[in-house]
Structure 1
Amino acid sequence: MTKHDDIMDIRRIMELLPHRYPFLLVDRVVDFVAGESLKAYKNVTFNEGFFQGHFPGLPVMPGVLILEALAQTGGLFVMHTIDEPLGDRVFLFAGMNKVKFRKPVVPGDKLDLNVFYIKNKMNIWRMRGVAEVDGVVVAQGEFTASVASKGDM
């Protein structure tokens, strides 16, 4: 993004994604390069409901939620790229490959979410996601997602 006005705050994110509390896992978009990448973040706090059971006395953000945060970041990349809201469509995971978890994410971490465009064909999008905390990779993988009409589900 080159203009400060293009940075997406939570209101713009909520216009583009259907997710809501407690499942909206992106707080702000800080960079967008058309056709290439999008960078966002999630502030991880002890108030997250999943920390009550994962794990008592040793709070660790579930890896699947880190992947979901990356997928939502990918959804924002796609929606910002096509520059329109989902409307009656939904952005769905279609597959994950080469997923690796490198380090636990804990309360107090700022989870940086980076997605990089690989390719798309029609309504199928492939991206590489990298999640970092303080510049250290905590999770990564490639994922495929599709934009589908809710009526087709």
Structure 2
Amino acid sequence: MRVVLQRVKQANVSIAHEVVGEIQAGYLLLVGFENSDGETQIDYLVHKIVNLRVFEDENQKMNLNIRQVKGSILSISQFTLYADTKHGNRPSFIGAGDPEHAKTCYQQFNAKLMAAGIPTATGEFGADMQVSLLNDGPVTILFDTEKA
């Protein structure tokens, strides 16, 4: 499971020029799955993301987590996180999870973020989406459960 986390001041996702999900301050998550991912990987990353301390405290130190700043999450499915670019100029996506498995994992991941008390908006799995964001910092963190 791979996640690209960006701390944002605001973000939204549109499908066919219609906004389907938006947040103010919080995280934009680009989320990808492989076939070996399951509840263990989902639980691990939900815990890491919810407790990650990258928001500034009163001393301008990155010391607060998303709960402490009452932030939200915009979660976007992103199979291209598994692009293999080692050979040629056209990426291969063979490492990305089967769409049905990935969709199930994505739904479980979002449900667990919400169960952790984080307001979570989403895009639509498999849709052609346009994502807009105002990166804050910028702060961008990469998570990969293979390297955990």
Q: What is the TM-score of this pair, normalised by structure 2?
A: 0.29
| Larger RCO, structure (CA 8 Å, separation 6 or more) | 2
Q: What is the TM-score of this pair, normalised by structure 1?
A: 0.28
